[in-house]
Amino acid sequence: MAKIVATDLTGKVLAATSVVLSVSDEMSCKNCHASGSDPYAEPATGWVYNSDPLKDPKLNILKRHDDHFIISQTYLDQLKAAGWNYQSSLYQTAVSGTPVLCAACHSDFALSLPGLQGINPLTNDMHTLHGPQLNWPSTTQTLDQAKDDLSGCYVCHPGPKTQCKRGAMKNVLCSDCHGNTSHLGDPLRAGWLDLPACQMCHNTSTRYNSAFDNNGKWRTTTDLTFATNPDVPLPGKDLYRFSAGHGKVFCSACHGSPHAEYPTAQSNDNVYPNVEQKYVAKITECTVCHTTQMTPTPNLGPHGIHAIGQAWVNVHPDYVDQHGYSSCAYCHGSNYTGLFLSQAKVSRTFTVENGQKKTFNAGHNFNCYDCHNGPNGG
């Protein structure tokens, strides 16, 4: 948890809130590479058995790397020019006192390191190498064949305790959005940049359980209602964590961090929306940001929706009379009986015609039949 405080130049607190930082210290290779673990990962010259549990698997990995790859003189010259005191192998270099960083040779966008020309990016080589490997201690299933996250992606990152994928999409597999391990190793894929986008699953009033179409390709759509921003942060890329929408507010400010979209399975994540709007869901209430009553516009809210609340209830008949109700179908359904997009996240009470009050429970899908005899009714 982190408390974020905004102040003016005099130090006066203007706003404050508490949020969860999306970090993990659980990422590890020890399941297979710790000394004495997976026999298939044992270096040719034997396990290291270093007394430091943090160093042990890393040194075993370097020995294993030395078993398979000989660093050419071209790369050695570049490493030496970068200040490496290279010895006879990566393992010997490390134990001689020169730390070995994978991204020194393999480019890594996450660390903004370019690597060496001619060597594949870290994410490509790591995933390509490990996809066909048996998921230790299983001796029959590879990482590519994993049927659940615990025996697949969570073996390495961010770990089973962190529960990275804990948000609104927690019931789908990592591979449903990202593909299997070998897919992530595609040489045409740019690590940390070629990632699934919201519109692959959220489009045309539909929610898909996989970002992939029937041909195994990421789904494309012309419906940009819930789309990430194009060419952000780089041309041809469109990442959720960089995207912004209504009022240039980052998408994550209302929806939560990637993999932890509100509501989540972790109570700490839900502190933020609960404090700001008094219930747990994506930020829905206009008053969280707007301290004065906004004009109940029909389409100037986030994702082009109308204002939410009594003010819109009061004026929406006038809008329907002037413009018709066909535009309502996207969220309220083609038969106007309600969809998940028109669902109430908390109980609401409205004053309707003739001063009558009506209460709608959380989970109710608002529709034309709530107060009228359908879209054509009085």
Q: Same domain for 343 and 376?
A: yes
What residue type is assigned to position 175 of the chain?
Answer: S
Read off the pLDDT of residues 208-256 as tens digits, 9 standing for 90 and up.
999 999 999 999 999 999 999 999 999 999 999 999 999 999 999 999 9
Q: Which domain holds residue 344?
A: 293-378
Residue 2, beta-bridge partner list: 19
pLDDT for the residue 373: 84
Q: For 331-343, what is the mean pLDDT?
A: 93
Main-chain phi, psi angles of 128, to 5 degrees: -65, -40
Q: Same domain for 125 and 180?
A: yes
3-state secondary structure 232-276: ECCCCCECHHHCECHHHCEHHHHHEECCEECCCCCCCCCHHHHHH
Q: 230 in a domain, yes or no?
A: no
Read off the pLDDT of residues 183-210 as tens digits, 9 standing for 90 and up.
999 999 999 999 999 999 998 888 999 9
Q: Is residue 100's pLDDT more than 90?
A: yes
Please tell me whether residue 92 adopts helix, strand or coil conformation. Answer: helix
Q: 226 in a domain, yes or no?
A: no
pLDDT for the residue 377: 63
Q: Alpha-carbon distance 54 to 43, whole Å?
A: 17
Q: Is residue 119's pLDDT more than 70?
A: yes
Please report, rounded to a whole number, the percentage of residues in the chain having pLDDT higher than 70. 99
The pairs formed by 117-124 with CB atoms below 8 angstroms and a separation of 24 or more are 118/74, 118/75, 119/75, 120/187, 121/190, 121/191, 122/191, 123/184, 123/185, 123/189, 123/191, 123/192, 124/185, 124/186, 124/187, 124/189, 124/191
Q: Same domain for 130 and 112?
A: yes
Which among 159, 235, 255, 245 is positioned nearest to 193, based on CA atoms?
Answer: 235
Place of tokens 């003189």: 73
Please tell me whether residue 122 adopts helix, strand or coil conformation. Answer: helix
Strands 256-257 and 206-207: unpaired
Q: For 130-143, what is the mean pLDDT?
A: 89
Q: Alpha-carbon distance 9 to 332, whole Å?
A: 46
Residue at which a domain ends, from 78, 100, 122: 100
Q: Same domain for 297 and 364?
A: yes
Q: For 353-360, what is the mean pLDDT?
A: 91
Chain centroid to Cα 221, Å, comes to 20
Q: 271 in a domain, yes or no?
A: no
Longest dimension (CA), the chain: 88
Q: 377 in a domain, yes or no?
A: yes
pLDDT for the residue 163: 74
Which among 112, 106, 107 is positioned nearest to 233, based on CA atoms?
Answer: 112
Dihedral of CA 184/20/300/333: which sign? positive
Main-chain phi, psi angles of 16, to 5 degrees: -155, 145
Q: Same domain for 368 and 338?
A: yes
Q: Same domain for 109 and 96?
A: no
Read off the pLDDT of residues 75-86 as tens digits, 9 standing for 90 and up.
999 988 888 899
Q: Same domain for 329 and 300?
A: yes
Q: For 254-269, what is the mean pLDDT?
A: 93
Most confident region among 79-83, 102-106, 154-158, 294-298 by mean pLDDT: 102-106
DSSP H/E element including 332: helix 329-332
Q: Same domain for 107 and 76?
A: no
Token pair in block for residue 346: 């908390």
Residue at which a domain ends, from 149, 172, 187: 187
Q: Same domain for 113 and 160?
A: yes
**Residues contacting 222, CB < 8 A, separation 6+:** none
Confirm if 349 and 377 have CB atoms less than 8 A apart. no
Place of tokens 């594949």: 120
Q: What is the DSSP string of 6-54?
A: EE-TT--EEEEEEE-----S---SHHHHSTTS-GGG--TT-----SSTT
Which among 25, 22, 27 is positioned nearest to 260, based on CA atoms?
Answer: 22
Strands 256-257 and 260-261: antiparallel
Q: 171 in a domain, yes or no?
A: yes
Confirm if 228 and 198 have CB atoms less than 8 A apart. yes
Main-chain phi, psi angles of 6, to 5 degrees: -110, 130
Token pair in block for residue 176: 């449903």
Q: Same domain for 57 and 33?
A: yes
pLDDT for the residue 378: 57
Q: For 52-63, what is the mean pLDDT?
A: 97
- Please give the tally of structural domains in the chain: 3
What residue type is assigned to position 181 of the chain?
Answer: T
pLDDT for the residue 351: 95
pLDDT for the residue 172: 92
Q: 10 in a domain, yes or no?
A: no
Read off the pLDDT of residues 2-30 as tens digits, 9 standing for 90 and up.
999 999 999 999 999 999 987 888 888 99
Confirm if 371 and 358 have CB atoms less than 8 A apart. yes
pLDDT for the residue 369: 93
- Binned at pLDDT 50, 70 and 90, residue 361 comes out as very high
Q: 193 in a domain, yes or no?
A: no
Q: Same domain for 123 and 93?
A: no
Radius of gyration of the chain (CA): 26
Q: 341 in a domain, yes or no?
A: yes
Q: Is residue 323's pLDDT more than 70?
A: yes
Please report, rounded to a whole number, the percentage of residues in the chain having pLDDT higher than 90. 72
pLDDT for the residue 344: 95
Q: Is residue 299's pLDDT more than 90?
A: no
Q: For 159-179, what is the mean pLDDT?
A: 88
pLDDT for the residue 160: 80
Residue at which a domain ends, from 46, 74, 100: 100
